[in-house]
Amino acid sequence: MQNFKAYILIFLLIPFSLFAEDGSQLWLRFPNVKNGISADKIISKGNNPTIEIAKYELTNFWQGQAVELRTDKTLKNLKDGYTIKSSSDKIIISSNKEIGLLYGVYHILQLQETKSNLENINITEKPSYDVRILNHWDNLDGTIERGYAGHSLWKWEDLPNKISPRYKEYARANASIGINSVVLNNVNASPNILRKDYLEKVKILADIFRPYGIKVYLSVNFSSPKVLDGLENSDPLNKNVQNWWKGKASEIYKLIPDFGGFLVKANSEGQPGPQDYGRTHADGANMMADALKPFGGIIMWRAFVYSPSKEDRAKQAYLEFVPLDGKFRDNVIIQIKNGPIDFQPREAFNPLFGALKKTPEMVEFQITQEYLGFSNHLVYLAPLFKENLDSDTYSFGKGSTIAKITDGTLMKNKITAISAVANIGEDTNWTGHHFAQANWYAFGRLAWNHDLSSEQIADEWIKMTFTDDQDFVKPVKEIMLSSRETAVDYMMPLGLHHIFASGHHYGPEPWGDYKNGRPDWSPVYYHKADANGVGFDRTKTGSNAVSLYFPPLNETYENIKTTPENLILWFHHVPWNYKMKDGKTLWEELCFKYDTGMKNVRDYQKTWDKLQTYVDEDRFKSVQSRLKIQAKDAVWWKDACLLYFQKFSKQPIPYDIERPVHELEDLEKIKLNMGHHN
Q: Give exposure, 233-254, as e/b (b: 16+ Cβ within 10 Å).
A: ebbbebeebbebbbebbeebbe
The Cα–Cα gap between 309 and 520 comes to 9
Both 296 and 433 in one domain: the answer is yes
CATH number for the domain that contains residue 229: 3.20.20.80
Name the active-site residue from 113, 125, 364, 370.
Answer: 370
Are 371 and 255 found together in one domain? yes
Half-sphere exposure of 72 (CA within 13 A, CB side): 16
Residue 10, pLDDT > 50, answer: no
What is the pTM for the complete model shown? Answer: 0.96
Indicate which residue of 138, 342, 347, 537 is catalytic.
342
Residues 368 and 279 in one domain: yes
Residue 466 lies in a domain: no
pLDDT at 396: 97
247 and 284 both lie in a single domain: yes
CATH number at residue 653: 3.90.1330.10
Are 312 and 375 within one domain?
yes
Given 269, 325, 392, 478, which residue is catalytic? 269
Q: Is 673 part of any domain?
A: no
Name the residue range of residue 618's domain: 488-536+573-668
Q: Domain ends where: 80, 104, 125?
A: 125
pLDDT in tens, 127-138: 999 999 999 999
Question: Across residues 304-318, what is the average pLDDT?
Answer: 90
Instruction: Report the pLDDT value the prediction gives residue 521, as an integer from 0 to 100.
Output: 87
Q: Based on the domain organization, do 52 and 156 belong to the same domain?
A: no
Per-residue CA distances from 361 to 307, 403, 405 (Å): 22, 10, 8
Nearest to 497 by CA among 345, 370, 388: 345
Q: Of 534, 533, 541, 576, nearest to 559 (Cα)?
A: 541
Please indicate, yes or no, whether residues 146 and 115 belong to a single structural domain of this protein. no
Q: Specify if 383 maps to a domain.
A: yes
Q: Are residues 499 and 516 in the same domain?
A: yes
**Shared domain check, 524 and 397:** no
Which amino acid, residue 523?
P
CATH code, domain carrying 37: 3.30.379.10
Residue 3 belongs to a domain: no
d(C-alpha 634, C-alpha 508), whole Å: 10
Integer Cα distance of 206 and 232 in angstroms: 32
- Asked if the structure places residue 546 within a domain, the reply is no
Count the domains in the chain: 3
What is the band of 520 on the pLDDT scale with cuts at 50, 70, 90?
Answer: confident
Report if residue 493 sits inside a domain.
yes
The average pLDDT across 54-68 equals 97
Q: Predicted confidence band at 310 (pLDDT cuts at 50, 70, 90)?
A: confident
pLDDT, residue 517, reads 76
Pick the residue with more confidence: 1 or 37? 37
Q: Is the dihedral of CA 367, 372, 378, 383 positive or negative?
A: negative
| Cβ contact 641:667 at 8 Å | no
Q: Is residue 435 part of a domain?
A: yes
Domain edge (last residue) among 94, 125, 156: 125
Residues 45 and 176 in one domain: no
Task: Say whether both 174 and 100 belong to one domain.
Answer: no
- Give, in degrees to the nearest 5, the angle at Cα 201 between 210 and 366: 65
397, part of any domain: yes
CA atoms within 13 A on the CB side of 323: 7
Looking at the fold, whether 245 and 273 belong to one and the same domain comes out as: yes
11 pLDDT more than 70: no
- Digit-coded pLDDT (tens) for 404-433: 999 999 998 889 999 999 999 999 999 999
Residues 6+ apart with CB under 8 A from 646: 653
Q: Is residue 352 predicted with pLDDT exceeding 50?
A: yes
Q: Considering 125, 154, 185, which residue would you say is the last residue of a domain? A: 125
Active site residue 269: yes
